[in-house]
Amino acid sequence: MADEQNQIVVEVSKDLEELIPEYIESMNNSIVHIEQLVQDKNFTEIKSEAHKMKGHGGAYGFKYISDIGFLMEGFARDNKIELVKKCLNELKTYMTRIKIEFKEDE
């Protein structure tokens, strides 16, 4: 776990509190899967996984994941493997630094 200075606080609706642990686990599994797809240079599947990330991230309150998914999807479409890798590394760092705070909807 990252030290508190380097944490990224993400506010998530309290209504999603029970779903978040499974979502985080799913994201970590996706990262491992995408790493393999990058090794295989399977741009079609990278694009598909990134597209899912783009949609799910915002729905769960993780805009950054949606943004990275958007970028990764475009880079995969253009076969830019080094930029896909950069996005993947940034996502991995983000996932180790997040601190989730649940808040009541207003």
What band does 98 get if pLDDT is binned at 50, 70 and 90? very high
pLDDT, tens only, 23-34? 999 999 999 999
What band does 1 get if pLDDT is binned at 50, 70 and 90? very low
pLDDT, tens only, 40-57? 999 999 999 999 999 999
CA distance 95 to 41: 23
Give, in order, the Cα–Cα distances in Å from 83 to each of 62, 68, 88. Answer: 21, 11, 9
The pLDDT value given to residue 33: 98
CA distance 68 to 57: 9
The pLDDT value given to residue 5: 77
Write down the CATH number for the domain with range 4-101.
1.20.120.160
Residue 42 burial class via C-beta count within 10 angstroms: exposed 0-12, middle 13-18, buried 19 and up: middle
Q: What's this model's pTM, rounded to 2 decimal places?
A: 0.91
Residue 9 Rama label (left phi>0; alpha psi -120 to 50; beta): beta
The pLDDT value given to residue 106: 72
